[in-house]
Amino acid sequence: MNSIRRVLTGIKPTGTPHIGNYVGAIRPAIAASRQPGVESFYFLADWHALVGSTDPARVQRSTLEIAATWLALGLDPDKVLFYRQSDIPEIPELTWLLTCVTAKGLLNRAHAYKAAVDANVAAGEDPDAGITAGLYMYPVLMAADILMFNAHVVPVGRDQVQHIEIARDLAARFNHLYGCEYFTLPEAQIDQFTAVLPGLDGRKMSKSYNNVIPLWDEPRALRKQILGIVTNSLTPGEPKNADDSHLFTIYQAFASAEETASMRRAYADGIAWGEAKEALAARIDAELAAPRERYHALMKDPAKIEEILAAGAVRARAQSVPFLRELRHATGLRALTHVSDAQEKQRRKVVASGLRLAPMRNLDGSWGFRIDGFASVKVHLFSDGFPDLQAARAAGERVLSTAPANLEFSYGPGNQVSVSSAGLVAAVARGVSRDEEASAVAEIKRGLLDYQQINA
């Protein structure tokens, strides 16, 4: 049994990340990618970014920044699959296959769509004012991201759990409708202890609150941001409660256990807020200095990032292309020459035992073979001579595996039809007209096709 767990993480390129993103998502995800027994997929969700942005320069810039960020912080593209979503054309095709089994009511209940509708209603607008089909279909695209690689686990925040539930619903419905376990049912992974950092004003660090500390600020700008963190009015020398200080919360997210314990004692001893802020700025800079240097080097070399993403896409498509081919086949998007199970059973009745390959010794001492077993005309295919039995049998097997369309038939004298590409002679067992010879040729082709499809 395969014990490898597949973990998939989507990274939406929506601007430069801040230290809250780093502590709460990026750092733990990169650490998780190094665990044994885990196959990790990380992708830049640039198609998702189009739902909220019509600024192409911003989408491109954000994709570059986010890719450079993850690589600079230690994501190893040789040990994980790191790719750009839009480089995998099988994902939108899978999105359509899933769309065709998705109940509209399921999407009506999706949180993001409902929130947009509720906001319109509250403002006295038409319920669907300004809502795009992209927002409405977002959960199906997310399901395709997950199901394309049959991820077992998807780390998400609580607000994304519903999307994993929708992916499970669509996977189960597709499996049921097409009678096979094509998709693994993914599980949401919620880290109960994921740090949520406070921002400059004490609220959750968020771009919407404009209270973030950018991840890649230079030391001087970083220090200026941290000195602006809101604190209480306790003066130097007065004991301070570390557990009530969002300044301490940020420090703890970067410090070791020993450093945290030392800072907690300093708070109890009445450390000045300015001194605590300087210590925080120094601690963050110590952790991010080397990655910052790598980040800026990568930003100056977008061709390097493009090369990494292209290599990731090749590895990802090595899985997505054959899997999508299988799904297309399952849904009926397949060659018209394919024989369904029902048709194959019928053909088995017509050609119950398939064609028979019978070795024979020729009058001149050479070995040949005869193929018979056709349904409605007495036709046998006789081979030319081969030096030994093994060569004759091998040639016969090649003929049986040859697409009948590749066999070139031409009429010879009397009641013979030559099969030039195989060095065979098709002998019609009784005197027939030219039209009947043509019918015999058609029968040979059908017989060979039957054999291939039954024995494939």
Q: Could you tell me if 166 and 22 lie in one domain?
A: yes
Q: Is the pLDDT of residue 260 over 90?
A: yes
Residue pLDDT, tens place only, 77-110: 999 999 999 999 999 999 999 999 999 999 999 9
Q: What is the full DSSP assignment across 262-292?
A: HHHHHHHTT--HHHHHHHHHHHHHHHHHHHH
Per-residue pLDDT, 180: 84
Domains identified in the chain, total number: 3
Residue pLDDT, tens place only, 406-432: 555 555 544 555 554 445 555 554 455
Residue pLDDT, tens place only, 174-186: 999 988 889 999 9
Q: Could you tell me if 121 and 41 lie in one domain?
A: yes
Q: Could you tell me if 155 and 25 lie in one domain?
A: yes
Q: Could you tell me if 119 and 240 lie in one domain?
A: no
Q: Could you tell me if 308 and 382 lie in one domain?
A: no
Segment 253-282 mean pLDDT: 96
Report yes or no on 350 lying in a domain.
yes
Q: Is the pLDDT of residue 116 over 70?
A: yes
- The CA angle 310-313-317, to the nearest 5 degrees, is 145
Model confidence at 357, pLDDT cuts 50, 70, 90, reads low
How many residues in the chain?
456
pTM to 2 decimal places: 0.72
How far is the C-alpha of 41 from the C-alpha of 147, rounded, in Å?
A: 12
CATH number of the CATH domain containing 269: 1.10.240.10
Q: Could you tell me if 243 and 277 lie in one domain?
A: yes
Report yes or no on 211 lying in a domain.
no
Q: Could you tell me if 161 and 102 lie in one domain?
A: yes
Q: Is the pLDDT of residue 263 over 90?
A: yes
Q: Could you tell me if 319 and 375 lie in one domain?
A: no
How far is the C-alpha of 198 from the C-alpha of 21, rounded, in Å?
A: 11
Provide the total of helices (H) and of strands (E) in the chain, helices listed first.
17, 11
- The alpha carbon dihedral of 41, 47, 52, 57 has a sign of positive
Report yes or no on 16 lying in a domain.
yes
Q: Is the pLDDT of residue 167 over 60?
A: yes
Q: Is the pLDDT of residue 353 over 50?
A: no
- The CA angle 96-100-101, to the nearest 5 degrees, is 125
Q: Could you tell me if 346 and 319 lie in one domain?
A: no
Per-residue pLDDT, 344: 47
- The strand pairing partners of 18, in sequence order, are 214
More confidently predicted of 226 and 371: 226
Residue pLDDT, tens place only, 142-151: 999 999 999 9
Measuring CA to CA, which residue among 408, 413, 400 is closest to residue 451? 400
CATH number of the CATH domain containing 34: 3.40.50.620
Cα-based distances in Å from 213 to 75, 220, 226, 228: 22, 12, 8, 10
Report yes or no on 210 lying in a domain.
no
Report yes or no on 68 lying in a domain.
yes
Segment 114-124 mean pLDDT: 95
Q: Are 153 and 7 in contact (CB under 8 A)?
A: yes
Report yes or no on 203 lying in a domain.
no
Report yes or no on 147 lying in a domain.
yes
Residue pLDDT, tens place only, 377-389: 455 566 667 777 6
Segment 334-347 mean pLDDT: 62
Q: Could you tell me if 235 and 345 lie in one domain?
A: no
Model confidence at 395, pLDDT cuts 50, 70, 90, reads confident
Q: Could you tell me if 69 and 174 lie in one domain?
A: yes
Report yes or no on 291 lying in a domain.
no
Q: Could you tell me if 148 and 231 lie in one domain?
A: no
More confidently predicted of 454 and 220: 220
272: containing domain: 216-286
